[in-house]
Structure 1
Amino acid sequence: MPIYAIHCIDKPLQQELRAATRPDHLAYLESAISQILVAGPLLDDEGAPIGSMILMEFPDRRSAVDFAANDPYSRAGLFASVAVTVWRQVLPRPD
């Protein structure tokens, strides 16, 4: 199954919205845990969250875009930008 990178950048000064929406965001990711390879926040130089990065398996791009659009963070208007692109592992070499 193809792997997609979901790369999201927060709007500036949205730490409170991110914190308030985080439990719903995590529950949403847990609902698709079998598809997730890695997931976590993008951080600034001080370690504060400024976005999200998720590598997940989806049957097609539309499914990945729909998943990203329905993320509670996205639905709450947290993100300034969301990019969904197919990704292929090169290193370390997959089995």
Structure 2
Amino acid sequence: MFVVHCQDKPGAQQIRLDNRAAHLEWLKSNLDKIAMAGPVQTEDRSGMVGSVLVLNFAERAELDAFLAQDPYAKAGLFEAVTVLPYKKVLP
């Protein structure tokens, strides 16, 4: 299992909006791999500035191949992507 934090490029809100429907469909078609997923919001919650995903993959190479298929990644939305191994403890 891995936790993934994707940080949008500054000023890329329109890229996010233009690709949101495709991104959500891609996620929905891969629900078996997703423990949790959602957008990171601005402090005032008026916009989205990134994504956090907790994904069920045993190997990093499989995860990387999966992430490369994200419509957001293909559109160049992200400034940075941080991936960390994750161990669920609770609940």
RMSD over aligned Cα atoms = 1.1
Q: TM-score scaled to structure 1, two decimals?
A: 0.88
Q: Distance in 1 between matches of 2:3 and 2:62?
A: 12
Alignment-derived partner of residue 2 in structure 2 = 4
Q: Which runs of 4+ in 1 moved over 6 A?
A: none
Alignment-derived partner of residue 86 in structure 1 = 85
Alignment-derived partner of residue 34 in structure 2 = 36
Question: What's the offset of the Cα at 1:83?
Answer: 1.5
Question: What's the offset of the Cα at 1:31?
Answer: 1.3
Question: What's the offset of the Cα at 1:90?
Answer: 2.7
Alignment-derived partner of residue 26 in structure 1 = 24
Q: Percent identity between the aligned chains? A: 38
What are structure 1's unaligned runs of at least 5 residues?
A: none
Q: Distance in 1 between matches of 2:82 and 2:22?
A: 21
Q: Give the aligned length.
A: 90
Q: TM-score scaled to structure 2, two decimals?
A: 0.92
